Structure 1
Amino acid sequence: MKRFFRISLLVIIAGIFIYTLFYLYQKSQKQPQVFTTETPFYGDIINKSVATGSIIPREEVELKPQVSGIITEVYVEAGDIVTTNQQIAKIKVIPDMVSLNNAENRVEVAQLALDNAKIDYDRNKALFDKNVISTSEYQRIDLSYRNAKQELAAAKDNLSIIREGASKKGGEVALTIVRATVPGMVLDVPVKVGNQVIESNTFNEGTSIATLADMQDLIFEGKIDESEVGKIKEGMDILLTVGAIENKQFNAELEYIAPKGVEENGAIQFVIKAKVKLDSADFIRAGYSANADIVLSRKDSVLSVKESLVQFDDGKPYVEISTGDQQFERRDVELGLSDGINVEVLSGVEADTEIKVWNKAG
């Protein structure tokens, strides 16, 4: 019985050993590699450089008040279309007490001067009518009287401007009314009724009442890397992709390339600007981010292959074409324009040629 178990154990061990040898042999055998093929195709090849930026109006106009005070009325809101001289807001003047006091004193002094000049004028007028004084003497008195009246009018006008923000001499012209200086769309109204505003002067740019811009005259402003700036020039076509507008591209024309770069994150960037070409139905909001594809060169509907199918031997491009079942031969090709993914084929293959998809690692 023991002998039976001993023989059985030896048979099992021998079987495991033989199976292991067979398994290792099978693993050592190289599996045949099966290659797939692809055919050339007709497509558009666009060699482009990419810049990121945003779409902004070419000109933005900020409206500033000519007097300081409190906003009492706002006539527009963001998105409204305005014309030149249209009323935007109204300001209630809060006069400076020192300036107001000086203006009132000036009026009083001018009134006293006028009263005195009138007494002198009336007395000399009576004497002139009786031929007691000469004409030249009368003209001098008359001129002083008229100057006194003019000084009083100017003093009252100055007081009216300081107190009310409007000149009586100016008629309808009032500094308290902020008007549009250009036609366009209202982009922003940062003030509300009750806000205090400061006038624009030599020492202060003033409070912005509203921002206006022509939304049909837009530009793309972005930055491009120094490695790409040498490939572009003014007048090139640009395709704009706006992140907020899906499935649509806008045409633009490169207008400006900055002569000086700016360092950002260790790389030199150059500012570029391009005029956006809009149709009458197009509307793009100011500030949209966009990517600009600057078309360096382009060919439409040309015979192309994927660059991954092309191999190189001493710098000479070639592909392997199918001649039978898993049989391939080398075929030299002449390449044209490339976009980094697809490349134009000038000669060497036809549209129905089956090209080997090769595994470089294998």
Structure 2
Amino acid sequence: MKRILIILIIIVAIASFVGTGYYLYQKSEEPPVIYETNAPFKTDIERKTVATGSIVPRKEIDVKSQVSGVIEKLFIEAGNHVKAGDKIAKVKLIPNVVALNNADVRIKTAIINFKNAEVELDRQRELFEQKVISEFDYNQFLLNYNLAKQEVEAAENNMQLIKEGASKQEGMSSNIVRATSSGMLLDIPVKEGAFVIESNTFNDGTTIATIANMTDMIFEGKVDEAEVGKLKEGMDLSLTIGALDTVSFNAKLEYISPKGVEEQGAIQFEIKAAVSLRSDNFLRAGYSANADIVLETKQQVLAIKESDIQFDEDEKPYVELMVAEQEFEKRILKTGISDGINIEILDGLSTDDKYKRLSD
């Protein structure tokens, strides 16, 4: 009995050892690799390039002051619509001491000359009435009197212009800054109390306001020299605005710069396109934007996923074509245009073929 028990223990031990070994062998053996396949398909392909830039008004005007001084009052705010001639600001003049002194001397001199002319005219009038002098001689003194009177008025107006920027004569308010064109007031870079410099031959002067026509907007961007040769005026653009990412705007290319500019080692060419505005979205000046420019379009061409293509040592594109169940061979391809996702197949595959799938 004892002998039989020992034999059973030995048999169980051997069976456990064999079973464990078989289990470990089965677990260590790798499962066969099953490759998934894709098939060529027909689709439309657009080859595009992207230009980065911004939305700006076609015409943007800086309004300057005709006189130097301090901003006394601002009549409107940024965002308001103005018409040509509307008041924007009033400038309080700070008179130049030398100019003020010269103006004062001019007034005094003019008054003295006027009083002398008045006295002389009265004396000559009596002589004329007594028939002592001719009418011609009398008119000469009358002319001198009128000229002296006019000089007094001119000197007083000059003094008022120096002090206040405005004269007694209508329409001579040079210290009132007015809109030079109609449009929207984009910016007023100065505040009340700020000092401004007049615009003249020697300097541009201080900008009081910026006015633009917001109904005529353009896209200004830049494209790389590798793509600029494919662009033509009149091409359609699709604009994506950074601040309005769910909305796209149409535009038409109207300008390509004849000269490139080097930026970070690459030559960039400026382009401009007229934007078609939408009534449901207001475009603000300065919005950043990307423009998709369609360079070439092909409809219903044979294509595959570009991520499934491999390249050999000669940089020739190929796929692994399935010739039997889970058996593949190298097939060289001739490709056409690509949109970055799908690529056109000109030769090497048909719609009945299947090839090894590399992409997820």
TM over 0.5: yes
Residue 157 of structure 1 aligns with an amino acid whose one-letter code is N
SS in 1 for 2:246: coil
Structure 2 unpaired stretches of 5+: 1-16
Paired position in structure 2 for 1:326: 326
The reply on whether 1:114 has 2:109 as its aligned counterpart is no
Do structure 1's residue 209 and structure 2's residue 208 form an aligned pair? yes
Are positions 1:180 and 2:179 aligned together? yes
Please tell me whether residue 343 in structure 1 is matched to residue 340 in structure 2. Answer: no
For 2:244, the equivalent position in structure 1 comes to 245
Q: Does 1:74 align with 2:74?
A: yes
1:199 equivalenced with 2:198 (yes/no): yes
CA-to-partner distance for each residue in 1:218-237, whole Å, 9 max, x for gaps?
Answer: 22222222222222122222
Give the residue type in structure 2 aligned to 1:176: N
What does 1:27-42 correspond to in 2, within 5 Å? 32-41=32-41
Offset of 1:176 from its aligned partner? 2.2
1 CA distance for matches of 2:214 and 2:300?
36
How many Å apart are 1:61 and its aligned residue?
A: 0.9
Corresponding residue number in structure 1 for 2:90: 90
- Alignment RMSD (CA, Å): 3.4
Q: 2-side partners of 1:43 and 1:159: how far apart? A: 80
Q: Distance in 2 between matches of 1:88 and 1:41?
A: 64
Per-residue CA deviation, residues 50-108 of structure 1 (Å, 9 max, x unaligned), is 22222211121111111222222212222222222222112222221211111111111
Cα deviation, residue 252, structure 1: 1.5
- Which residue of 2 is the match for residue 99 of structure 1? 99
Deviation per residue, 1:121-180 (Å, 9 max, x gap): 1111221222211233222222212211121121111111111111212x1542222111
Q: 1:322 to 1:105 in 2, by over 3 A?
A: same
User: Separation in 1 of the partners of 2:300 and 2:198?
Assistant: 61
Q: Work out the CA distance in 1 between the residues paired with 2:36 and 2:295.
A: 34
1:65 alignment partner in structure 2: 65
Q: State how many pairs are aligned.
A: 343
Amino acid at match of 1:184: G
| 1:291 correspondence with 2:290 | yes
**TM-score normalized by the length of structure 2:** 0.82
Match of residue 50 from structure 1: 50
Task: Give identity over the alignment, percent.
Answer: 54
* Corresponding residue number in structure 2 for 1:132: 132
Distance in 2, matches of 1:236 and 1:336, equals 22
Q: CA deviation at 1:349?
A: 6.3
Moved more, 306-315 or 48-57: 306-315
CA 1:155–1:44: 2 relative to 1, 3 Å = farther
Counterpart of 1:231 in 2: which secondary structure?
coil
1:144 corresponds to which residue? 144
Q: Structure 1 residues 350, 119: CA separation in 2 closer, same or farther (over 3 Å shift)?
A: same
1:3 aligns to what?
none
**TM-score scaled by length of structure 1:** 0.81
* 1:73 maps to amino acid: K
Aligned-partner Cα distance in 2 for 1:178–1:172: 13
Match of 2:14 in 1: none
8 A contact 2:48–2:296 mirrored in 1: yes
Deviations 1:281-305 (A, max 9, x none): 3312211222222221124565532
Letter matched to residue 142 of structure 1 = L
Task: Name the residue aligned to 1:12.
Answer: none
